[in-house]
Amino acid sequence: MDPNNPNKDKRSTPEYALYQRENFWKPNTGEVPPFNTEPGKLEELAKEKLTQGGWYYASSNAGQSYTHLANRQAFYRHKIIPRQLVDTNLRDTSTTIFGHKVSAPIGFAPIGINKIYNPAGEIPVATVAKELNLPYCLSTAGSNPIEAVAAANGEGPRFFQLYMPHDDELTISLLTRAHNSGFTACILTTDTWQLGWRHDDVATGNYAFYRGIGADLGLSDPVFKKRLQAAGIDPEKQPKEAGAMWIDNVWHGRAHSWEKMPWLIKTWKDISGGKPFCLKGILSVEDAKKAVEIGCDGIVVSNHAGRQVDGAIASLDALENIVAAVGHKTYIMYDSGIRGASDVAKALALGAKFVWVGRLWVWGLSIMGEAGVRHVMKSLLADFDIFMNVGGFQNVKQIDRSALEIAKIDKPVYAEVDVLGAKNKVRE
């Protein structure tokens, strides 16, 4: 690729594709690319680097991994139709989400307990998100204080993902901290009142919070500190008990219902001055309509990457149904099973305005910390930039339903799944 291509200086977004050339050139200077970003090889290398508990938590899916498999099969069935002889020299990878112009329709999905992947936790992830101008979403199950993550993210666009306690004062405190720290949207996850049944985690008692690891976001909360004091728990001397009390307030196993949503939306809007509120975990058209009816500014179509309900509909299949029903009424985002630029494009073509990526950057964090996250996400941006170039798309809006064909499968689609249920290869 010509590094002196005059078009790169005329583009409205950087020539992310040059990261390919940068890696091709490295052997000439005695260097090598950091590591292979092919998803299967990423997983293998992460498994080598992580503890057993870290690997199991990152890779485990609900039940027999059928939902995880369904996600991959759905991407396999949808085929890109490239266009030729399109002038893509000035292509624009950017999009806008809730008033933020960002580098691409790609964001860092909310994933908890990052300290089991790297001692610095969420800090290096938020740092890279800022550098790349990609939205970062912090999980309530994060392992660093909200304020510390915000500081690392600087001026980057960031949102707060809420696992809502049944303690309203604690919920208000978390939302207030998020707003005061510059988080500009609240995304409530609706599918995880408790963790799904994940065999490997259960079989090994793999729950970091009960080991006293990763509860810093809660332990730094002023309201939760009062709760600890009232319970007679000293987090310095009793980290396991403190961690357990925190996560039992977050993944509490007690469902919330639609009746609670008006209070939550009003509370967030009052605290934030009217900033966006979204629901994550929506797969049903009926639920999507209800979300619009109660005033949600956006929804994330997601099956939690197959980690919550085994045998559920693929998020990509749900996306098309939901877009048809409410796509003109709310901002629709996608989450679950993204492994590369073509997956991002398929979700966009089916009507998502934005796509969240999770496990890819977790593997990078596990392998090489901040440098690993940077390599994975720069590679994904390069992949997306190249996809638009060779696929014939001048901007993100052109990636629409006309760019897809749904394959007619005359025989079953299977997958080869390893014993951990984390790696699969779809085949006919």
Please give the positions annotated as active site: 304
Helical (H) or strand (E) element with 72: helix 66-77
Q: How far is CA 216 from the centre of its chain?
A: 21
Helical (H) or strand (E) element with 75: helix 66-77
Is residue 389 a contact partner of residue 93, using CB atoms and an 8 Å limit?
no
Q: How far apart are CA 108 and CA 130, in angstroms?
A: 11
Class of residue 386 by CB neighbours under 10 A (exposed 0-12, middle 13-18, buried 19+): middle
Pairing mode, strands 95-97 and 298-301: unpaired
Torsion of CA 300, 305, 307, 313, to 10 degrees: 80
Stated length of the chain: 428
Q: How far apart are CA 360 and CA 43, in angstroms?
A: 8
Q: Which residues pair with 427 in a beta bridge?
A: 414
